[in-house]
Structure formats: C-alpha cells, structure tokens
Chains A and B, each alone.
Chain A
Amino acid sequence: MTSTTLAVTDPRRERLAALGRRAGIRLAGGVLVLWAVATLTFFALRLMPGDPVLAILGGTTGNPSPEAIEAARQEFGLDKPLAVQYVLYLGRLLQGDLGMSYSQHLPVTRVLAEQGGATFELTVAALVLAWLLVLLLTVVTAGRGRLIGGVASLLETVSASLPHFWLGVVLLAVFAFGLRWFPPAGSDSLASLVLPAFSLAIPLAGFIAQVTRESLELTLEQPFVLTARTRGLSDLAVRFKHALRHALLPGVALSGWAIGALISGAVVCEVIFSRKGIGRQLYQAVQLQDLPLVIGISLVVAAGYVLANILVDLLYQWIDPRQQEAAA
C-alpha cells in the first residue's frame, strides 16, 4: 500500500482475478493428476493376467491361425518391451492420439465421441433432477415443525439408502415391464432417459437434501432472516431469495463429489437400461482387456471429474466470498 494514493479497486474485479488465479493453479494441478491417471491405468492393465492378443482375436470363440496371431501382435505393437510401449504411448497421448480400441477396431477418440454424449446426458439429467427434488422437498418443508420435518427427513434418509442398481431394477420392473409407461431400453428418446435419470437422482437427492435441510434450518434461524420477514417479505420469498443462497453452500460442495458418484452410477445404470455410454463401454473394455479404450475412458472421466470439481470449487467461491480469505 503506497502512502500517497489510496488505490480504489473494484471489489468485483478483484474477486474475478482471484478466481482466475485459483482456476489457473487448479488446472495445472489437474494436468499432473491426469498424467498420474494415465500412468496408473497403463501399468494396471499391463499387469492383468492373460494375453491381450488372444483377447483381440475373438477370445474363446475365435480360432486364430498362427499367422493371424503374429500379425495381430505386430499390428498392436505388443511385441516391444514394456517401457518402450509406455513411452510411445505417452508420446501419442500428448498428440491427442488415444490409440485404437482392441475390441472395436476404432480410434478411441471416436468411441468416446459417439458414446460420451449419452453418458453426459444422463449425468446432467440426473444432477438437475436431483437438485429439483432437493429444492422442492427442502424449501417447502424446512422449519415447518417437527412432524413434517420428521417425515421429510425420513424420506431423505430412506432415499439416500437406496442402492441405485437395485432402484434401477425395481423402477424398470414396475414402470417399464409392468405399467409400460416408459421404454425398457434405448438411448435415443427423452422417454428412455426418465427411468435411468430417476434411479440415479433419487439416492443423490436424498444425500444432498439431508445436508441442505440441516443447513437451511440453521439459516432460517439466523437474525438476517428475521429482519427480512419483518420487512414484510412473504415466507416463500424469504426462503428462496435470502436463506437459500446461504443454505446451498454445503450442497454445492457435495455436488463435486456427486458428479463422481453419478459417473460411477452411470456404469451400472447403462448396463441395466441397455443404454449407450462410456460407463458401459468401460465395464466391457475392462472385461475384454481393451487397454487403449480403458485408458481413454479413464482419462476422459478423470478429466471431466477434475474439471467439474474445479467448476464447483469456483462456484462455491463465487457464492460465498467469505471463503476466499480462508483459502490456500
């Protein structure tokens, strides 16, 4: 601070600059994380028992000839020493070449492009749906007395305890097989998104709702809320405009973790509902020992998750500027 002038800084610009700095640091860290992820998965899959060449050539139902096996081995570079393969692999990664999938004989980037959309759709739909359920339930029922609060709390706890794979199967049986309200399979229509999104959203909503309800009830007891009420604001306005912003913070913090949970859940839901997606692809790729595809999907998932966490972190900062000073 110079002695001559009092620098008038725009607090908002300061905040954005600080956010930008933080984002930069996080992104750099993210790249390191991705490198570690690539290395981990590469060596993990090379350690897997069984010869990948035979996996490529059709597994137990194929009857490859000796020439075919040799040709495949050379084509996929499996005859070189491990360290060389790793270096070559890293080099290609840096150029954006994720290699060829062993099981599908397609570039991994193409598989990701074709399948990623469906998983992204499902994850976003589930997150949005979960938040809708959370807002609906907590805002309407928080602080209204023990009975309603108790019932809502019970509902949330039960929802959070539902394993998504079981919920998915039950929803499928009741609404798709039984009542026939929704199609049992498919990735194309909006109708086919409903049941998978719900089976992921309901347990997640249970989790987030518990945290948000606690936070909302605490916030509603704060003095500033009383002030708002005395100013004549309606109850709902108070809840939405004032209390919610503060109460959302723990929920937003959870959302970062939630995306990871949703991606994990997507693996199972895509299998149950026969949907396209990288979750199901990853599961199949692991079974087929398709190394490039597993690494490619893991990298994309890790990248997406790191990015999502950075965004959530920044969002958290933005909503609550108090955190900035306490930060790194």
Chain B
Amino acid sequence: MTDLTLGRALTPVRRQRHLSLPPLGASLSILFLLALVLAAVLPGLFTRIDPLAIVPREAFQPPSWAHWLGTDQSGRDIFARIIHGARQSLLIGVAATAISMAIAIALGLLGGLGGARVDRAVGWLLEVLFAFPSLVLALLFVAVFGSGVGPLIVATGLGGAPGYARMVRGQVLAVRNAGYIEAARALGHPTSRIVLRQLLPNAMRPLVVTLTMGVGQAIVWASALSFLGLGARPPAPEWGTMLSMGRDFIANAWWLTFFPGLFIVLTTLATTVTGRYIQQRLEGRLP
C-alpha cells in the first residue's frame, strides 16, 4: 500500500475538466436515495396529507388520483405514510448501522491492537454473538427490553455488529503494521492520535461501501422485526409495520402490503447499487 501511494505521488495527476456521469443504474439509485433523504427531512414536499389522519369512511380505497397508493383500514393515505415512514426507516437504518459500527470499532480495535490474548478473547466473544442468527439475537433483545423504536434500533445494531467487527478487526490487523504507522510512531506521536488520525481512517476506508449497503440491510432487518410486531408498533408509519398490518387484507386490498414492501425493495436496491458504484470508483475501475 505504501508503494502505491508513493507511486501516485510521483506520477503527474491529470485533472479532469468535468465529472463523468455514473452509469444509468447508479444514477437512478443515487437519485432515489437523495429523494428518500429529502422525504425524510421535508416530507411536506411530497405530500400534504396527514399520515395519521383517520378517516373511516375512506377505508380500503384502491389507488386513485385522490390517494396515489390507496388507503389503509383506517382511511389513512398510504403514500403519505410511506413518505413519513421514510424518516423512520432511514433513521433506524442509519442509527442501527452507527451502533453496529461503534461496537465493531470498539471490538475491532481491542482485538487488533490489544495483543494475542485480548484478540483471542474478542474473537471468542464474536463467535458467541455469531452463534445467534441475527433475528434470534434481536428477538431476545426485544423480549427483554420491550418493543418500540429504541430497542429496535439497538437490536438491529447488535445483529449487524459481529459482521462489521470481524471486518474491522481484519482491517486493523492489516493496517497496523503499515509503513506510515511505523513512521508516525517513530516520530513520537501519541498512540491515541495515531489511532484516530491514521489507523482508523485507513482501516475504515474499504468499509465505506459495506456501510452504505449496510444501511439498506439494517432497514430490512428493522422492517422484519416490525413485521413480527416487535419493532415500531402501529400506528407508526414504519414500512415493516405497515406491511404486517396489511397482511390480513391481501385478498381484498393488496396495496396495503405491496407498496411498503416495494419501497423497502427499492431502498435496498438503491443502497446496494450505490455502494457498488462507490466501490468501483474507489478501486479505480471506473473513470
């Protein structure tokens, strides 16, 4: 890695006059994600209807001009609920991934830097966490701490942490003996500074892609828990909860279940494609 950086420093850099557009799939995905973030921050831009407004008279309306994606069993507009649910879902996805990363960094640093014994202990702890399929772990967590958005975020974060922890640990092990780290140590920089300024950023760079895709995965996990009734409880406009509530009516009113699920699929798809695009750019496989 040191040779590459040296090499890049020596060759002249050709500045490009313009940014080339990403391919079609990646463009659409990025646009979708941006729209989602916008919907999360300013839902009023997309819909004026109150997602919690109960209008029993208009229950189970199929998609129409008045209600683009139809209404649910209490007459609430589904499109409005999906838009407002975007905030919930993104919040949960980002927060859960953040928690996963926090745990992963802590464990990864501990294992990577702590010496052989500590590393083995951390490895063993990760094995224990890994022995639970994520949903089982999440079920237990929610069982103890109750359902709701808070426990949902932590449970999803816990479920994803072992995977990231392994990656971080591997990265830390790979990076800690790099040349620039040695150089910094020789220069007498304090360990904490080395860790924060040099080690972590370089260790984490390849994980950026995983993180992007991870947010999508976290959204799916959280939706699965809400689907089982263990996450955000109704009437929260969370996509998994909406899917679950609509399940009973699939024969009469398929739109209650179909559209929230469709948005989950599109979000996951978008994060995956975007993540891959970023990865390809970072690896220099694309201009």
Contacts and interface: CB of A to CB of B under 8 A. Distances in A.
A touches B in complex, CB < 8 A: yes
Interface of A: 29, 32-34, 36-37, 40-41, 44-45, 47-49, 154, 157-158, 160-163, 165-166, 169-170, 172-173, 177, 260-261, 263-265, 267-268, 271-272, 282-283, 286, 289, 294, 298, 301-302, 305-306, 309
A265 B227 CA distance: 12
Contact of A34 (B131, B146, B216, B272): B131
Contacts of A271: 228
A268 B128 contact: no
B264 interface: yes
Given A163-B223, A267-B135, A302-B132, A173 B127 contact: no
Given A157-B272, A163-B268, A264-B136, A33 B227 contact: no
A289 B143 CA distance: 8
A267 B221 CA distance: 13
Contacts of A267: 135-136, 139, 228
Contacts, number: 122
A83 B141 CA distance: 21
Contact of A268 (B131, B134, B224, B261): B224
B264 A298 contact: no
B247 interface: yes
Nearest to B258: A170
A166 B266 CA distance: 13
Nearest to B247: A169
B227 A264 contact: no
B133 interface: yes
Interface in B90-124: 124
A29 B272 CA distance: 35
B140 to A, nearest CB: 5
Contact of B143 (A158, A165, A166, A286): A286
Contact of A298 (B132, B216, B258, B261): B132
Interface stretch (B37-45, B172-180, B249-257): B249-257
A48 B144 contact: yes
A303 to B, nearest CB: 8
Interface residues of B, number: 40
Interface in B129-164: 130-136, 139-144, 146
A261 B243 contact: no
- Which of A169, A173, A263: most chain B CB closer than 10 A? A169
A256 B171 CA distance: 21
B241 to A, nearest CB: 12
Given A165-B243, A261-B133, A47 B265 contact: no
B90 to A, nearest CB: 16
Nearest to A302: B131
Given A37-B128, A161-B266, A268-B135, 19 more contacts: A37-B131, A44-B144, A47-B144, A48-B143, A48-B144, A154-B25, A161-B265, A163-B264, A165-B227, A177-B250, A177-B251, A260-B133, A268-B228, A283-B228, A286-B139, A289-B143, A294-B143, A298-B132, A301-B133
Contacts of A289: 143
A44 B143 contact: yes
A157 B140 contact: no
Nearest to A272: B247
B173 to A, nearest CB: 14
Contacts of B143: 44-45, 48, 286, 289, 294
Interface string B238-282: 001001000100110010011001001110110011000000000
